[in-house]
Amino acid sequence: MAAGSGLEGVILGPTEIALVDGENGRLIYRGHDAERLAQDVSFEETAFLLWEGRLPDETELADLRRGLAEAMDVPGPVRDLLASLTDALPMDALRSAVSAWAALRHHDEGGDMADARWALAANAAVVAQHSRGPGAELAVDPSCPFVHNYMSALNGRPADPAKARGLDAYFTLAAEHGMNASTFTGRVIVSTLSDIGSGLVGAIGALKGRLHGGAPSHVSTMLDDIGEPDNAEPWLRAKIESGERLMGFGHRVYKTYDPRARALGLVAGQLAGDDPRLGLARHVEETAIRLLEEYKPGRRLYTNVEYYAAAVLSNVDLKPDLYTPSFAVARTAGWTAHMLEQIRYNRLIRPSVDYVGPMPEA
């Protein structure tokens, strides 16, 4: 592989949206600590902050909730498409249905705040519609928080308030994370003066990859394979010695404990109480960090957000195949904030590469 692959250290340009402080383990959304936002405000308030640069007042929040609920009405042609995709994986169905819905909206080049709100509502509605079936009615309440409506749409019944609050905290912490692969993809697409619908489809495609959005389900599989606390050390040693990656540990940016994992660990504790599986997760975490330091000293490999995301998502009764689509719904807030910023100050994103292949003979 050519040196420098991965674009580490390359600065795309300035942003006012978020700071990912990997050295100090902090995540800042427009001047607000993301951990505090997860405790103090709802996800849709966080989305408004990312879009507008400030938190909404009560009237703006009520308008936002009502608008998002109304926008979750899936058009007939998109339902028809989903009917033909009942056997498709959820992320594949999401990518295809959102593309069709965007085509129906006749997006102009670029985009605006209405497009951002549509994108958030559309992703949530498509995930729920595909999960429930194309004929299901997605009952939502315009006065309820967005994540409450998402869970109600998914399950066909009013959401449990405690579980909805737990998922809301996860959505807030997953809403934005700097220039990650899917956000970069969306910004590149709209920088060509394409539309937000196209940028959204590209971002979904990037998030589908297991090195980006698929990790929480792999954490759940790992815990299932380990099964009992006594199995943790031999299982983890075998994986490390065979050169395999431990899902939920290590991060390209964070060189200390991921602040999102810290916050979600608290949420998981509130949801699960003394659930033995959470006890297993905490034991596996302690063992994995100790072994990673033993085998890879100085690498600074700590728990990342996916580890406790798996615990939270399982305790709010999401099926593992909905983990990544739900992540996509949450991250739509950050994707669209970045696309709007790119449109506002646009310059076509066109990096260069170093050619290292052969040259013609003289």
Catalytic member of 251, 285, 338, 341: 251
Give Cα 255 to chain centroid, integer Å: 20
Nearest to 188 by CA among 206, 211, 209: 206
Query: CA 18, 52, 54: angle at the middle one, nearest 5?
Result: 80
DSSP 3: T
Give the number of other Cβ atoms within 10 Å of residue 280's Cβ.
19
What distances in angstroms separate CA 130 from CA 136, 217, 244, 259, one per listed residue? 9, 19, 33, 32
Active site residue 306: yes
Structural element, H or E, at residue 50: helix 43-52
In degrees rounded to 5, what are phi and psi of residue 33? Answer: -70, 125
Give the number of other Cβ atoms within 10 Å of residue 167's Cβ.
28
**How far is 61 from 58, CA to CA, in rounded Å?**
5
> Exposed, middle or buried, 49 (CB in 10 Å: 0-12/13-18/19+)?
buried
Give the number of other Cβ atoms within 10 Å of residue 245's Cβ.
13
Active site residue 233: no
Catalytic member of 35, 306, 338, 341: 306
Task: Walk across the sheet containing 32-33 and list its strands.
Answer: 18-21, 26-29, 32-33
Annotated active-site positions, please?
Answer: 251, 306
